[in-house]
Amino acid sequence: MSSVEALALRCILPGFIGTEAPDWVRRRAASGLGGLVLFARNVESPEQLTTLTASLHSERPGLLIAIDEEGGDVTRLEARTGSSYPGNLALGEAADPCLTADVASAIGLELNRVGIDLDLAPVADVNSNPLNPVIGVRSFGSDAEAVAGQTAAWVAGLQRTGVAACAKHFPGHGDTAVDSHLALPIAGEDPRLHAIEPFKAAIAAGVRAIMSAHIVAPAIDDLPATISSKVMMGLLRDELGFQGVAMSDALEMRGLSRGRGVAESAVLALIAGCDALCIGGRLAGEDVVEQVLAAIAGAVRTGRLAEERLAQAAGRVDSLAAWRAGQHEVGVSPDGVGLTAARKAVRFDGPVRVSDTAVVVRFPAALSIAAGDVPWGVAESLSARGVHVEAREAGSVDAAAVPPDTSLVLVVRDLHRQQENVAHIEELLTRRPDAVVVEMGLPAYRPRGAKAYIATYGSARVCAAAAAEVLRP
């Protein structure tokens, strides 16, 4: 391996399939791979994950093992059950920075124990567009100042446990209406007006990494932020003074790779100022690593990418690994802090209590690529509180057939984005005006006939538990 290839390898963080590391991953780790990104597909249990990370670190102690553990709707550790911690929107609604820091510390302590070095969180985006299909409840809210305070608290809470935080998605993915996994979003407002405030706060709090967004901010550049030197160097480095690791969002996302390919996107990201290159959500084999390595080496050879810029990027990744190696688990968090936060966030209005029996109808919600298929709903939590629950999916209930002494609970997520569900629910409410509507997403629309309404500000397992406590004290 040439010296240029060795530097390039240090900048790459791929993913892989399975709960054990393939031979190619171990070999690349031993030869200097910068890090790895783990997904829910790599996690079976805390014990398995601890064994996996230990085996990877045994190949090279400086290997950075990263994961997306945001809490709330985006969880990798608890993808099978739903998270023990509310996500950002619930924390923003609770509006208690100390509580937010405690939740982040609880997450960090769990990550530390299973051998994770870098958490690709918090989401620092200001959710200024309620129709945003990929941010929503992952944001602390729509007010930039409030989001900034929550972001700083989350970063501080996580990093006091010795796990590095990565604020995302710079310069702000909130004012968009397109999912960058699928296409290229355009920011409607100059990020310098509001969207970068949480990133300023994260930097002031000492955040170790910041992740780019595959979005275009026309007020700054017509290139996607990940490959824009005006964004990644001019704004992030020169204006905001960030000295840590600039990390790309996953390079195979269509918002960036369409028309360019992953390898070319990697080269352009490095030229623009990114240091660490995330790959492997969809592409998870050694071949993509080889393609990226070859492209980077070729770009250095032809002079497109300066070797000094590559060395700088690799050096920043190494510095993050060195920071992690010097950390010790020092954070603490109160027992049950996740449920405490979920309780503080839940809001309700009207006659929301249910009887001893209830039909709970869950309405379909769009599957978020970022979150994956994580369980959600209130039926199980309500049953745990002693209610005899009949759980149904939408389309299988006739309101007139539900006996008057049986409560009807309608569970939705991001109802404002689902006109078909709106029509169905409002029709049901005309026949059962006593039905309780539980919104587990962004509470941007309350059905006109909903006399009883609960908003949880997220669909984490603890948010469901908090709603169940309201329904059945």
- Encoding tokens for residue 457? 């500000």
- Encoding tokens for residue 104? 């982040």
A 10 A CB-CB count for 193 gives 12
Residue tagged active-site, from 181, 194, 214, 416:
181
Residue tagged active-site, from 117, 119, 249, 414:
249
What type of residue is 107? I
**Are 465 and 339 within 8 A, CB to CB?**
yes
- State yes or no: is 181 an active-site residue: yes
Query: Alpha-carbon distance 47 to 56, whole Å?
Result: 14
- State yes or no: is 249 an active-site residue: yes
**Are 147 and 175 within 8 A, CB to CB?**
no
Point out the residues that are catalytic. 181, 249
